[in-house]
């Protein structure tokens, strides 16, 4: 029985990790569904192409070649090295060792290829760590990254380096044990990196100690992956998964095209209907004709794609570095808009968890408590942020919806804008001229 304890422990860890992952995934789906429904199932061919080009192909990352190339190395390494996890899962559950070694030369090629990728991922993460903490790249040192966001980014990089180093140390120990014909360690695998990086440091260690090192690094690697999968929920690295649906549901129309508010359309229709009563209560089971909120006051008023955007944000700051308002010293940071939206969504999620999915008003709203009017009115609506985002996030749509609420629900627009709207209402033009004088400019 004792010989099966490692396999039982592994199975328990796998079940716990999978359960936690599914639980967190359900929570994310629930939180996204708090937003208003939006139809984005049209033009499926274009959406699949967009997802393949932007999420899978990383096409927008290479606009900044150095960071883009390093990110592609980490991305490809992450995808392909996880193929080896399939073998580790089988070995962990059934007590085998390198169960796929029957593939022969192809297996040796795969292990060697994974080692090269692991080394490139490790080097890339070290460079990223230096860029974040030593090289003062402005977008990586802004105020909204203080505290947890900065710690989170560094933790991810450290974890990835540790996981790759554990993999290479495990392979180095395995190679030495194979050379010594240790029981259970069959001749299998190619080790082009560990043979010079880790194996020389392990070659003089006694076999009993080496067996412990090999097992410890094996367990560290796989348990680290289990931990990482569930850490994603609390991290900006959730984009590893959500970048794919986010790009699929991204806006295909021209970035400069604003949507019409359905609430405004419904109210106009109601005003034109002589039989409509805006003060009448809707019969049971029917939707009221009374207009809903104009714009967005809280996350409940944003649509589901906008909330998906908030969860997908990588906090890379490319949007903010392109924002003309931010560049000229304004308070606006498109990255902070997305981070604040996610913070509010998470605070709402905690209240729902504490009250068995029942909403209890906490007296806070997204606008004012998380995002200020000053930030919103600094936006020029130029769309530089949406163009720059590597995963097609649209901060502008959230900014516009929050501004719509301020204007249409609270009449809280800047004085200059109020004057312009009054002129449009009274004179039919933004300027303070009488309609009869509008063509006087032609007299000269």
Residues 177 and 215 in one domain: yes
**Helices and strands of the chain, counted as H and E runs:** 19, 0
SS3 state of residue 36: strand
Q: φ and ψ at 147, to 5 degrees? A: 85, -135
- Confirm whether 54 is domain-assigned: no
In a domain, 55, yes or no: no
d(C-alpha 90, C-alpha 11), whole Å? 10
Decide if 252 is inside a domain: no
In a domain, residue 246? The reply is: no
Residues 208 and 80 in one domain: yes
CA distance 296 to 409: 10
Whether residue 242 is contained in a domain is answered as: no
In the chain, the number of structural domains is 2
Residue 241: burial class (beta carbons within 10 Å; 0-12, 13-18, 19+): middle
**Same structural domain for residues 230 and 266?**
no
Q: Are residues 70 and 208 in the same domain?
A: yes
Q: Are residues 161 and 270 in the same domain?
A: no
**Whole domain around residue 355: which residue ranges?**
262-278+288-435
CATH number, residue 344: 1.10.1060
**Long-range contacts, stretch 278-282, CB < 8 angstroms, 24+ apart:** none
**What string of pLDDT tens digits covers the 444 residues of the chain?**
667 788 999 999 999 999 999 999 999 999 999 999 998 999 999 999 999 999 999 999 988 888 889 999 998 888 888 788 888 899 999 988 888 888 888 999 999 999 999 999 999 999 999 999 998 888 888 989 999 999 999 999 999 999 999 999 999 999 999 999 888 888 888 899 999 999 999 998 999 999 999 999 999 999 999 999 999 999 999 999 999 999 999 999 887 788 888 777 877 888 788 876 666 555 544 444 445 678 899 999 999 999 999 999 999 999 999 999 999 999 999 999 999 999 999 999 999 999 989 999 999 999 999 999 999 999 999 999 999 999 999 999 999 999 999 998 888 888 888 888 888 888 888 888 777 777 787 887
Q: With contact defined as beta carbons under 8 Å apart, do 389 and 280 qualify? A: no
Q: Is 371 helix (H, G, I), strand (E, B) or coil?
A: strand
Q: Is residue 165 part of a domain?
A: yes
Residues 112 and 73: their CA atoms lie apart, in Å, by 16
Q: Can you tell me the distance from the alpha carbon of 63 to that of 55, in angstroms, rounded to the nearest whole number?
A: 14
């Amino acid at each position: 029985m004792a010989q099966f304890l490692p396999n039982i422990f592994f199975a328990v860890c796998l079940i716990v990790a999978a359960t936690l992952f599914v639980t967190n995934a359900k929570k994310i789906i629930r939180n996204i569904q708090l937003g208003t429904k939006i139809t984005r199932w049209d033009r499926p061919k274009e959406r699949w192409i967009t997802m393949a080009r932007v999420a899978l192909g990383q096409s927008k990352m290479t606009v900044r070649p150095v960071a883009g190339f390093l990110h592609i190395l980490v991305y490809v390494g992450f995808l392909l090295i996880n193929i080896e996890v399939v073998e580790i899962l089988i070995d962990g559950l059934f007590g085998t060792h390198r169960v796929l070694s029957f593939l022969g030369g192809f297996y040796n090629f795969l292990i060697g290829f994974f080692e090269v990728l692991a080394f490139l991922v490790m080097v890339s993460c070290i460079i990223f760590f230096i860029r974040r903490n030593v090289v003062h790249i402005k977008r990586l040192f802004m105020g909204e990254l203080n505290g947890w966001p900065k710690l989170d980014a560094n933790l991810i990089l450290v974890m990835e380096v540790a996981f790759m180093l554990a993999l290479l140390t495990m392979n180095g120990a395995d190679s030495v044990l194979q050379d010594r014909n240790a029981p259970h360690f069959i001749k299998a695998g190619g080790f082009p990196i560990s043979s010079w990086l880790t194996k020389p440091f392990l070659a003089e260690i006694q076999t009993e100690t080496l067996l412990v090192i090999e097992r410890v690094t094996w367990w560290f690697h796989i348990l680290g992956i289990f931990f990482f999968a569930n850490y994603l929920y609390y991290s900006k690295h959730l984009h590893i998964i959500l970048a794919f649906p986010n790009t699929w549901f991204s806006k295909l129309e021209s970035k400069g095209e604003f949507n019409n508010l359905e609430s405004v359309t419904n109210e106009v229709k109601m005003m034109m209907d002589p039989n409509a009563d805006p003060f009448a209560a809707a019969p049971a089971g029917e939707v009221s004709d009374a207009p809903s909120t104009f714009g967005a006051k809280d996350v409940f008023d944003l649509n589901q794609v906008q909330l998906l955007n908030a969860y997908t944000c990588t906090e890379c700051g490319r949007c903010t570095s392109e924002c003309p308002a931010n560049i000229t010293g304004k308070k606006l940071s498109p990255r902070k808009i997305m981070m604040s939206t996610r913070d509010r969504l998470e605070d709402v999620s905690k209240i729902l968890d504490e009250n068995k999915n029942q909403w209890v008003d906490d007296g806070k709203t997204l606008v004012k408590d998380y995002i200020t009017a000053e930030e919103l009115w600094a936006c020029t609506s130029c769309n530089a942020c949406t163009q720059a985002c590597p995963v097609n996030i649209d901060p502008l749509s959230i900014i516009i919806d929050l501004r719509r609420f301020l204007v249409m629900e609270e009449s809280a627009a800047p004085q200059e804008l109020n004057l312009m709207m009054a002129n449009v209402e009274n004179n039919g033009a933004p300027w303070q001229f009488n309609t009869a004088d509008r063509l006087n400019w032609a007299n000269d």
